[in-house]
Chains A and B, each alone.
Chain A
Amino acid sequence: MKVLVPVKRVIDYNVKARVKADGSGVDLANVKMSMNPFDEISVEQAVRMKEAGTATEIVIVSIGPAAAQETIRTALAMGGDRGILVKTDQTVEPLAVAKILKIITEQEGADIVILGKQAIDDDSNQTGQMLAALLGRSQATFASEVKIEGGKAEVTREVDGGLQTIRVNLPTVITVDLRLNEPRYASLPNIMKARKKPIDEKTPEDYGVDITPRLKVLKTTEPPVRTAGVKVESVQELVAKLRNEAGVI
């Protein structure tokens, strides 16, 4: 069974993001970039499936600038088999990503596509669902447990207020949540092996996908600064404030 794992190069989760002075977006100059943390979880899931004998090949794909090659290489060091870099310096919106991934999934004949449920830069949470729709496949999103058996996937999903377990037919699209697994540290032998694993270079044009942005960013702002709290003298005052000022009771 072939597994396709898309990975995105994003601002490192440990970096404090700063908005550009003109409000057009987040300042990425001289900022540390890493693999989207949810995608690390996807890669880990695929590698575990290969170790368990469920998966036979793991193909890593990234759509982005030349430097996204590094992100692919990192995934290969974790256990991916080969990579595809779809190179572009443009912003690629979820729909365009899904369109490119659709073609790659079909060309590769991938049985399962495992994606992060969202990327921590734009938090869109759309690509996996769009991809499933374009492919006309089942989808199992927000996975916190995945079992593959007899041509089906049993997936436990993190939904509002609890867990939901569903069974979907293969081929399918899975998006992963935080609690699915703890991604491994790449080992030194695997880091060295990753060097020799092939990465194919493509462009969006190769797939005939028009990636021109459909969305327009009007404004980007810093999150509001938390305002200082107040001390109340008595329970009565607290209740009064909750009722009259906060309006929560």
Chain B
Amino acid sequence: MDYQLTDEQRIIVDTLRKFMREEILPLEDKLDPDAGDLEPEDKARLVAKVRDMGFYGLGIPPEFGGPDLDTTTQTLMAMEMTQHRAGLYNPAYGVFGGAGLAQLFEATDAQKEKYLYPTLRGEKSTFFGLTEPSGGSDPARAIQTRAVRDGEDWVLNGSKIFISGADRADFGLIFARTDSDKGRGGVTCFIVDVPSPGFYVRRVVHTLRSTRYATEIQIENLRVPDSNILGEVNKGFAIANDRLTRQRIPYAAGCVGVAIKAQEMAIEYCKIRNTFGGPLASRQSIQWMIVDNELDIRTARYLCLDAAQKADRGEEFRTEAAMAKLVGSEAGGRVVDRAMQIFGGYGMTKDFPFERWYREMRIRRIGEGPSEVQRLVIARDIIGGAFH
């Protein structure tokens, strides 16, 4: 499919591409290969610029001050913003802002005042605490953290693992079991302030990611007021799940962006690198790597845009989002891997972004629902629930 961009989408993509080329890449060149952030003054300057451009707060609904852009346009933007070394997990170093915890748009007015608005202003940082040591693929069943009512409060006990950024957060969401129902019907979402007595970040769990490590959380007799329940009691899992579905499209688009950049670099390099008396580009085995890259990229891009367009039309897009997430993360990994092979020894060095993409891309097949779970979702949708 040659997806036809509207005039607006094309100008937005062109503008963004220029912004990345002229504002982000020159700064990144001077940073450590594993750096997670820009210098604070550079970041502040670029945030101001993005605000002037009217693009600040990507992913925030317009009624909360975000730019009025449909999912398709945001998907196209995600494919541009990720085309740099730190792009997979920190697109454009965060100068376009972002929604943080999208669940908070469902919050009560008082909760919005206290938690949502400061987050949107960039004053508070957050975490999303769903996964537990007992398993993340099927959190509805695996959640063992319990919350028991005690007067106006709820008392929580349990533990969470792989929770990104909990050590630096001002508050976050903790999903806990509030009912004897063993499945999704018994889970409630609590907003938890940090620090709070009984809330402990036990350790940092180092992973393949250069920065932004995950943490392990211990919860012991943590008291959370009833007013801090997000949504309704026993209805918390739907809140988690909705975000996970929507999140899959930009998550996949990020993988596609990195793959596009890796491919562009591989094509350029294979034309100038000579071995055995000729350029790599003249070797069929190299040509086929480039072709396979292109197939991977186009397939993944198509699936992302297909899911985004369904979402924009207000249609059910769970199957499409799962397909995009699955193919985006797996194809992205293959493309980076082939590009590294074409670059030979240089591909292994930190002089190029490949090694960082290679490590971080690997996480994409696990995070936000592993590949197997995406397949499971797709199977359920196309075969039917009865066989699950």
Is B291 part of the binding interface, using a Cβ–Cβ cutoff of 8 Å? no
- Chain A residues with CB under 8 Å of B15's CB are 185-186, 191
**Chain A positions within 8 Å of B49 at CB level:** 185
- Once bound together, how far apart are the Cα atoms of A78 and B48, in whole Å? 18
Most chain B C-beta atoms within 10 Å of own C-beta, residue among A14, A185, A192, A195: A185
With contact pairs A188-B67, A195-B8 given, residues A34 and B14 touching in the complex (Cβ less than 8 Å): yes
Contact flags B1-36 to A (C-beta < 8 A → 1, else 0): 000000110111011001101000000000000000
The reply to whether the CB of A73 lies closer than 8 angstroms to some CB of chain B is: yes
- A27 at interface (Cβ–Cβ under 8 A)? no
A210 within 8 A of B: no
B12–A191 CB distance below 8 A: yes
**A-side contacts of B19, CB under 8 Å:** 185
Q: Is A165 an interface residue (CB 8 A)?
A: no
- A188 and B55 contact, CB distance less than 8 A: yes
Question: Which residues does chain B contribute within 8 Å of A14, judged by CB atoms?
Answer: 21
User: How many of chain A's residues have a CB under 8 angstroms from any CB in B?
Assistant: 16
Query: CB-defined interface of B36-56 with A at 8 Å, one 1/0 digit per residue?
Result: 000000000000010011110
Known: A14-B21, A185-B18. A77 touches B11 (CB 8 A): yes
Please give me the residue from chain B that is nearest to A40 by CB atom: B18
Cα distance, A70 to B9, chains bound together (Å): 11
Q: In the bound complex, do residue B52 and residue A187 qualify as a contact, i.e. CB atoms below 8 Å apart? A: yes
The residue in A14, A186, A188, A195 that gathers the most chain B C-beta atoms within 10 A of its C-beta is A188
Instruction: Please tell me if B268 contacts chain A, counting CB pairs below 8 Å.
Output: yes
Q: Are A70 and B53 in contact (CB under 8 A)?
A: no
Option from B53, B54, B268 in Cβ contact (under 8 Å) with A16 = B268
Q: Provide the residues of chain B in CB contact with A34, threshold 8 Å.
A: 14
CB closest residue in chain B, given A16: B268
By the criterion CB–CB under 8 Å, are A74 and B21 in contact?
no
Contacts A70-B7, A77-B11; A187 near B21 (Cβ below 8 A): no
- Further pairs besides A185-B15, A186-B53: 9, Cβ < 8 Å: A70-B10, A185-B53, A186-B11, A186-B15, A187-B52, A187-B53, A189-B54, A192-B8, A194-B11
Interface residues of A (CB under 8 A from B): 14, 16, 34, 70, 73-74, 77, 185-189, 191-192, 194-195
Binding site for A on B (CB under 8 A): 7-8, 10-12, 14-15, 18-19, 21, 49, 52-55, 67-69, 268
Q: Which 4 A-B pairs have the closest CB atoms?
A: A188-B54, A187-B54, A187-B53, A73-B7
